[in-house]
Amino acid sequence: MKTDREFAADVTRKLQAAGFTALFAGGCVRDDLLGRTPKDYDVATNATPDQVRDLFGHKRTLPIGESFGVITVLGPRSVQPIEVATFRRDGGYSDGRRPDSVEFTDAREDAERRDFTINGMFFDPLTDTVIDYVGGQDDLKLKQIRAIGDAEARIEEDKLRMLRGVRFAATYGFSIEAHTLAAVQKRAPEIDAVSPERIGAELVRMFGHSSFVTAYRLLIESNLWGEVLPQEFLGDPESEKTRLEELNRLRISNGHSNQVAAVIAILVRSALEGQRGLLARLKNAWKLSNELTSSIRWIVNAIPVLSNCHQRKWSEVQPWLIHADATAALDVVEAVGENIRASVEFARAKILLPKEKLNPDPLVTGQDLIDSGIAPGPNFKTILQSVRDGQLDGEIETREQALKRLATL
Ligand code: ATP
Ligand code: MG
C-alpha cells in the first residue's frame, strides 16, 4: 500500500515529467528533516492551478483552494489527498490576517512569503535535495524559530504568526530568535485581529502537547498571554508564577486524562472561585467546545471534593469518581493541592475497581416507586437518591432492604 509520502513523490514526479518545477514545501520538509512524520505533505509548483487540473484530470482534483492557487489532488484510497500549490507571492494584507490577493511567482518568492525559516524550505524527493532560500537548515540546527525577513513586518501582515511562533517553539523545544521574540512582544496587543476560533485552536494545540509548561511560559514571555486571556482571568505576576509552578507539578496520567481541560482548569480556577458564569467568557474568547468547557468547569468543581475525599462519605465521593474526567481532576488535585496524598491514593485505587464495585447497578428504580404507590413528582429523585446513598454507603445491601426502605419514606 502506498504511503502519503510516496503519493506526494508521485505527484511531484508527474509534474516534473511534464516540465514543471515541483517540490515538497513547508511543514513537511521541516518535519522530514527533524525525523518526524509530517501530518500532511504539501507540494509547490510553478504550474498554474489550471495546468495542475489538466495534468491530473478534473476527476482526480478538487479546486477548493483555487483562489489561493491550491488544487487538491486525490490519490488511492490508502493516502491523504495532496495539496498542490502554485508558487505565490501574497498581495497586501489589510486585515492583519489574510492576503488581499495572490500572484503566481517562483520558488524563492514563495519561500519568502512563508512565516518562519524552518517552515520555508523545499525538498526535491526525486533528487533528495533540500532547497533552502531562507536559512531554515541553519535555524533547525540552532533550534530556533526565526521569522523570514523583517519580523515586525511579517507579524503586521498576519498576526496569527505570533501564536504559531510560540507554538512551534514550545512543541519543538526551540527558542525564539531575539528579533522575532522582540517583535512578538511589541506587537502582542494586535493579536486581537485574529479570530477567537484561531486563537483557541492554537492554545488548545499547545495545551494538548507534552510541552504545555513551556507553552505557558512562552505565552507569558511573549506578552501574548495577557492579550489572549480575557481581562477577568488575569492575575498579578505573582499568580502567574504560582500557575507556572502548578503546571510544572502537573503529571498527566497515561491514557485517560483530559489534558487540555486539566491545564486550562489550573490556569483559570482561582478566577472562577465564586464567579458564576465567568467561564462562559473564556468559552467565547477562545470558542471552546461545549464539551471542553464542561470538562473544565467539572474539574474546577471537583478539586475541593477530591482533595479530601478519603474523609468524606462514599456516597458523596462516588459520583465524582465515575465521571469521565475524574482522572484529569485527580491529576490537577495532585498539582495544586496540599495534604492530598491520602485522598488521591484512595481515589485512584477506587477508580480501578471493577464496575460492580465502583458503580453497582441501583437496587431500585422509578418503576419500583410507582409500584409501591408513591406518586411521581419532584420528590422521586430525592427518594431514589436517598436509597442510592444508602446502597453506596453499605446501609442497604439487597433489593428487599431497599424496597423496605421505600416503604418508610
Ligand atoms: P503544522 O501542520 O504542524 O501545524 P505547518 O507548518 O505544516 O505545521 P500548516 O498550517 O500546515 O502548518 O501550513 C503549511 C505551511 O504553510 C507552513 O509550513 C508555512 O510554510 C505556511 N504557512 C502556514 N500558515 C502560515 C502563515 N500564517 N503565514 C505564513 N506562512 C504560513
Ligand atoms: Mg501542515
Chunk the chain into consecutive blocks of 10 residues (it has 409) and report each block's average pLDDT, rounded to whole numbers. 95 98 98 95 97 97 92 94 95 85 93 98 98 98 98 97 98 98 98 98 98 98 97 89 97 90 97 88 97 97 97 97 97 97 97 96 90 83 92 95 85
Listed residue (177, 176, 278, 195) closest to 233, CA to CA:
278
Q: Is 39 close to ligand 1, i.e. is its CB under 6 Å away?
A: yes
Please tell me the predicted confidence (pLDDT) of residue 119. 98
- Counting ligands in written order, the one closest to the CA of 25 is 1
CA of 43 to the centre of ligand 1 (A): 13
Using CA atoms of 381, 278, 288, 257 in order, give the dihedral in degrees to the nearest 10: -60
Tell me the domains of the chain and their CATH numbers. 1-141 (3.30.460.10), 229-359 (1.20.58), 366-408 (no CATH)
| pLDDT at residue 356 in the model | 93
For the Cβ of 114 lying below 6 angstroms from any atom of ligand 1, the answer is yes
Does 170 contact ligand 1 (Cβ within 6 A)? no
CA-proximal residue: ligand 1, atom 12 (nearest): 27
| Cα of 265 from ligand 2 centre, angstroms | 29
Q: Find the 26 Cα to ligand 2 centroid distance in Å.
A: 8
Cell of 153: 513586518
Residue 42 CA, closest ligand 1 atom number: 14
Centre of ligand 1 from the C-alpha of residue 295, in Å: 30
Cβ of 158 less than 6 Å from ligand 1: yes
- Residue 222, judged by CB atoms within 10 A of its CB (0-12, 13-18, 19+), counts as buried
What does DSSP say about strands 82-86 and 42-45: parallel, antiparallel, or unpaired? Answer: parallel
For residue 370, the model assigns a pLDDT of 87
Q: What is the pLDDT of residue 313?
A: 97
Expressed in angstroms and rounded, the spacing between residue 42 Cα and the centre of ligand 2 is 8
Q: Return d(Cα 82, Cα 42) in angstroms, integer.
A: 6
CA distance 409 to 391: 15
The answer to whether the CB of 160 is under 6 A from ligand 1 is yes
Q: Rounded CA gap, 295 and 260, in Å?
A: 9
Q: Can you tell me the distance from the alpha carbon of 85 to that of 25, in angstroms, rounded to the nearest whole number? A: 9
Q: Which atom of ligand 1 is nearest to the CA of 157?
A: 28
Q: Buried b / exposed e across 330-361, counting CB within 10 Å, b at 16+? A: bbbbbbbbeebeebbebbeebbeeeeeeeeee
| pLDDT on residue 311 | 96
- Residue written as grid cell 492575575: 235
d(CA 112, CA 97): 17
- Please work out whether the CB of residue 125 comes within 6 Å of at least one atom of ligand 1: no
- Ligand nearest to the Cα of 40, by number: 2
The backbone torsions φ and ψ at residue 124, rounded to the nearest 5 degrees and listed phi first, read: -100, 110
- Ligand positioned closest to the Cα atom of 98: 1
**What tens digit of pLDDT does each residue of 181-237 get?**
999 999 999 999 999 999 999 999 999 999 999 999 999 999 999 999 999 999 888
Q: What is the pLDDT of residue 150?
A: 98
